[in-house]
Each structure stands twice: as C-alpha cells, then as structure tokens.
A and B are shown apart, each in its own frame.
Chain A
Amino acid sequence: MSSPTVPSPKFTLSKKVVLEQYKKVREVVDIPAFSSKTNPRVSPMIEENTDGFLSVHMINELKHLKDMSRVLFLAQGWTSEIVEDLYERGIRSFAVDNEFDLDVLLSTIEPTDWKITLLLRLKLKEHSLRTERYFVFGMTSDVINERVAQLKDDPHIEQLGVHFHRKTQNVNEWKIQQDIEDVLSEETLEAIDILNIGGGLPSEYANTNVDVIGGIFRRLTELREWLHEKEIQLMIEPGRFISAPAGKLITYITGVYDNNIIVNASVYNSDMDAILVPVKLRVEGEVGNNAGKPYVIKGSTPCSMDLFRYRVYLKDEPKIGDEIVFINAGAYNFTSNFCDLEEIPTEIIE
C-alpha cells in the first residue's frame, strides 16, 4: 500500500564507504573476494576500483560484471554444459562443494588444455549447533586430504586451494589455525596455494557488537602469518562487512498510534534479514533507553512478522511524513513479492 502523502522509500548506496570497507579487508588478507550475493550493485564498484575478486554463486549474478577472470564461481549441482559455458565466458576460478560437482568438473576439463584455479569446499567443524542444518555443504576432511593428493600434480590446475564457509555475522569462530591443523594433513597444507575462509565478517546492527571487529582482524593477521610460513595465500569473501555500512534505507512514516510507527516499506521488500538471520537495522538518530521513548517500527504489510524494530528509543515524537532512516542497510536487502510489493529503488551516491 503506498501513501500519496509521503515520498516513496528508497535505498542509497555509497561508493566511498564501499571502497573504505574494502580497503580495511585488503590490509589483512591476500585475496579479498566480494561476495556478490550480499548486494550485486556493489560488485561493479569493486570491479572498477580495486584488484579484488568477486565471488559468485549463480550465473544470473554475472550480468553485473565485465572481467570474468576475477570471478570465483562457487558451483552447486552443475553440469558439463554449465562448466563449459562458464569457462567460455572467461571464468577460471572455481570452488566445488562436493565430489559429484568435482567429478563433473574434472571430466569436463580432462580432454581440454584448460588451466584453472580450483578450491575444494571443506566441511569444517563449527563450534556451534546453530549451523547443524548447513552441514550438508562441503566435503569431509578425509575426502579433501585424499582429493588434494590426487589433484596436486594435475596439469589443468594452476592453483589449488581449500575453501570453507562459516555462517554470516560470525563473532567467535576465528581461531581457525587450530581447526585447520586438526583436519588438514601436513601433505595437504604443503600442496595447496590458497586457503579461502569464506565470509562472515560481521557488520554493525542494533543487536550486534561492533567491538568484536578488532579481535577478528587480529586473528586474521595471525592466520595470514601462519599461512605465509607455508606459502599459502589467505582469501576471504566478505560481503556484508563491505556493503552493509554503505547502504541506507530511507522510509517515511505513514501512521503512528500508541507507541507504534508504520513506515512505507516492508521487511519483505527491503530487509528480509530481519526475519532470516535475524539482524535488526539501526535507526539514524536513535537514542539510549534513558533518553527517549520506546517505539515499535512496523512495516507496511499486515503480517505480524513485518517488524523492523521491536524496541527503538527515539527522542522526538514521530509524526506522519517524518523520515525514518535505517542505517547499515546495504547487505542482503533483497526483496520478495509478498503482497505484490514493489522492489525499492537504489540510488548510488559517491
């Protein structure tokens, strides 16, 4: 439902902030690869202004990019035809999730003179039950050790690596060296060129702790030093950390009653993360719980799940027509067509 009395909502995305965030990552790892799925509009900014990689999961995402040689394509349930199509487009770096996908790739490249970079996805133990249901992804360490031994002298493979991926907004599973030593054999560590630790660098939300970033970066630095002793490059795929702070969601109040505020956007067309992860977007100008009144910010649909924030403290009394600006809204701000909602446009700003 749109209201004629207030402007339409929009996203803004700052190129400057994207590049600042990228630079922070670049300082502590060898190969940053922006995870395109977090915000495909950021991918061209990374491609045009940095030497970083782009990690891509779906062929559809490739339309945002020009230089396919900088794409790491993460395969899942593909065919020889898809592999050939990707190679013909210019993609040379692949990460495979399971032995089925690996065998499809190997049988496709076997009769060719292709040279590729290949990462094998490791099912790394997570110190968490939260991700139990995601344990279907990746190969066990036994398989990785066995396959790396087979592939290390394969003439089609220029660079060989191991990839794993822990969940997003990861705050406490960064003591990676010990985990790697537990599961990868010395022979594997000697044979590989790249360790790709996936994404998971957190960003700042109302319900997260930004103070953890320093500790995470310190551990990344230590990990890189350890890997360099073994002549292994450290790769990372931060998406949220780079894109979230660059984005704002600008909405307008269409209704106020009791302590409830209704804005002219919905989590279903702007912030599905609020339901899925869930992270809660901060509101520009919100104050501590002693300095204002608490409000519930509701989305525009009648769904009870359509809540941006359950309790946000505002100093000024909200009125119809006022702006409510959600900050750090640049990651996973994908849309659904629930209630036939329209996609909210994004304005790129310098």
Chain B
Amino acid sequence: MVKVKDLKWKQDMRVSELVDSYEHIGFQSVELQRASEVIVKMKKDSAKVFLTFTSNMVTSGLRGFFAQLIELGIADVIVTTVGGLEEDIMKATGEDFQIGSFQTDDVELHEKGINRVGNLLIKNESYMNFESLIERILKKLYEKQKHWAVSEMLREIGLMLDDENSILYQAAKNDVPIFCPAITDGAFGFHLYLFQQDHPDFMVDVVKDFGNILFASSFDDRKGVIALGGSISKHHAILSTLLNGGAEYAVYMTTAHRTSGSMSGANTNEAKSWGKVKDESDVATVIGDVSITFPLAMIHALDELAEDGLLESLKRNNEDRGANT
C-alpha cells in the first residue's frame, strides 16, 4: 500500500514535483497523478492516442496547448465538436476572447452582443468575421472538389491557416486527422447548409469519415484515449476504439458524474462493460475542471517523456508518418 505523505512546499517547486507528490495526498490528486502516468505509458507503449475535447476547452487558453501537443506528436487522432473548430479559426484570424465572470448579467451581455461560455466572453462580431471568412473558405474548397469527408475538409482548412497556436493548422501540418462527427452543430454547420443551397452538388460526407476514423487504427495497434469532457467527441473516439478491439489505455477528465448515466459522466470502468476500453487496460478518471487538471497531468507527462528523450522521437515519428486517413 502507498502511504499518505504530507505535502511540503519548496521554493521554485516544479509542476512535476507537485504532481509526483499527488500520489501520496489522496482523493482526486491520486487519480490526477495516475492519469499522468497512464498518458506517459500510452506514449511509451506506442499506442495510437485519440485526444478528444469539447469546444469550451478551445474557447479557453487550452487551445494553444492542444496545438502544441499535436506538434509534439502526443496526439495521433483528434475528435472534437464544431464549436471548438470555429473558435480555433477565429483565434487564428486574430479574434480575442475575454475573461469575464460566472456571475454576470446575461441579459445585459446579450444587449451588448456578447456571448458567455462559463466565465469566457465571445463577441458577436467575432462570429460575424468568422462567417464572412468561412464563405471564402467554402468557395475555395468547392473549387478544389465537390465531395469532402469531414476530416479531409478540416485538413484543407488547416492548410489555409497560418498560426502555430492553431489546432487545425498543427493537425494539417503534422498529418493528424481531426474528426468532427457533429459538423453541423454550430455556425459552421449553418454556413455549410447555406452554401449547399447555392451549390447542391457540394457534399460534406460524415458517413465516409466514420470509415476514416475506423481505419485510423487497427486491431494491431494499441490504442489510448484521452477524453477531456464528454459529449460526442468522447463517444466517437471510444466507439472507434471499440470497433478496433478496445483501448488499452484511457484517461477521462471531466466534471460530469457517473450517476447521470450520461456519456459525459460514464467513467472508464463503465466503458469496460461495452468493450470500449479493454478489461485489462490502464485507466484513470479524474473528476475536476479540465482547465486545471489537464495541464497539471500533461505537463508532468511531458516532463517525463522529455527526460527519457522521447519527445523528439515522438515528433520525428509524427513527421515520418503519412496521413492517417
């Protein structure tokens, strides 16, 4: 058994030292330290890593961190929701989001044309700029071809961006496919609809992309899932791993609780009952705000991978690898 040990502050203490000490504190800190170890393990074991996150995380400052992780070769497949991709494009084209407050007058915000995501604020103007941009993007896509699988379309959009902190840009540059099964569930979807009204032969094929995510890995691969938040992004990834024999590694980080019976709250043990995560997999479920828990766990993991000289090789492997789709 591991003993409980008292946490002690040290001046200039590193994140990794802090997370190491979590193993001995208790409650969710133990799970967080364990999540970090599972992430290290999935990378050391050459698992195909499915990183999933919901759009609110891209609204936050985690967006650049996700892009960095793609660049470093941590993620092999991304699954997310369309709002995050819209906001990634907005930020790539210079839009700023603001920190507000959870306790605010939402009617007043509405009158000012400001939208609230938790304590983050997005101006309507940002959406207007996005909408005028997306029309030009769709025209370019249409000129190139009429029929797009979602991930192939997102790759093409990523190649049009020029921002090192962009998820779409880094994914395109590093041949990491981004899957977004609910592509119509946002402003982007609305514009796809409008564009299709004028161009009836323009088709974005979600079904074809389901095949692409299935073939992004195989029964030969070990598979790891890092699911940040819940929803369709989490489910789509683990459904894909289920159809390829189940994931060997899974880290879930969420504020949702299992008691609701929802996909968002389902923990890694529940996933085992479906075969989405293998019976003998290494798993950790961390209940807590991902904006706090994920950077701690991931930075600890990155430090360990860097210490073992593996980050460069991950990046190299990423560069050597062909497109996954």
Contacts and interface: CB of A to CB of B under 8 A. Distances in A.
Interface of A: 125, 127-133, 141, 171-172, 182-183, 206-209, 211-212, 214-215, 218, 280, 288-290, 307, 309-311
A289 B220 CA distance: 14
B307 A128 contact: no
Contacts of B309: 211, 214-215
B191 to A, nearest CB: 34
A141 B1 contact: yes
Contacts of A212: 44, 308, 310
B208 interface: no
A309 B248 CA distance: 18
B115 to A, nearest CB: 41
A211 B2 contact: no
Nearest to B268: A129
B40 interface: yes
Given A132-B280, A215-B44, 5 more contacts: A125-B1, A211-B308, A211-B313, A280-B220, A288-B320
B40 A172 contact: yes
Contacts, number: 73
A171 B45 contact: yes
Given A171-B41, A172-B41, A214-B309, A288 B221 contact: no
Interface residues of B, number: 29
B63 interface: no
B37 A127 contact: yes
Contacts of B282: 127-130
Given A209-B44, A215-B307, A290-B322, A130 B220 contact: no
B214 to A, nearest CB: 12
Contact of B220 (A128, A182, A207, A218): A207
A207 B1 contact: no
Contact of B46 (A128, A208, A309, A310): A208
A215 B308 contact: yes
A259 B12 CA distance: 57
A310 B48 CA distance: 15
24 contacts: A129-B280, A129-B281, A129-B283, A130-B281, A131-B280, A171-B41, A171-B44, A182-B1, A182-B2, A182-B3, A183-B1, A208-B46, A209-B44, A209-B45, A209-B310, A211-B308, A214-B309, A215-B309, A288-B322, A289-B321, A307-B219, A309-B220, A310-B219, A310-B220
Contacts of A289: 321-322
B222 interface: yes
A130 B42 CA distance: 13
B236 interface: no
Contacts of A141: 1
Contacts of A309: 220
B91 interface: no
A207 B161 CA distance: 34
B92 to A, nearest CB: 28
A171 B221 CA distance: 16
Contacts of B219: 307, 310
Output the residue of A129, A132, A215, A311 with the most chain B CB within 10 A: A129
B1 A172 contact: no
B218 interface: yes
Contacts of A307: 219
Contacts of B320: 288
A172 B3 CA distance: 21
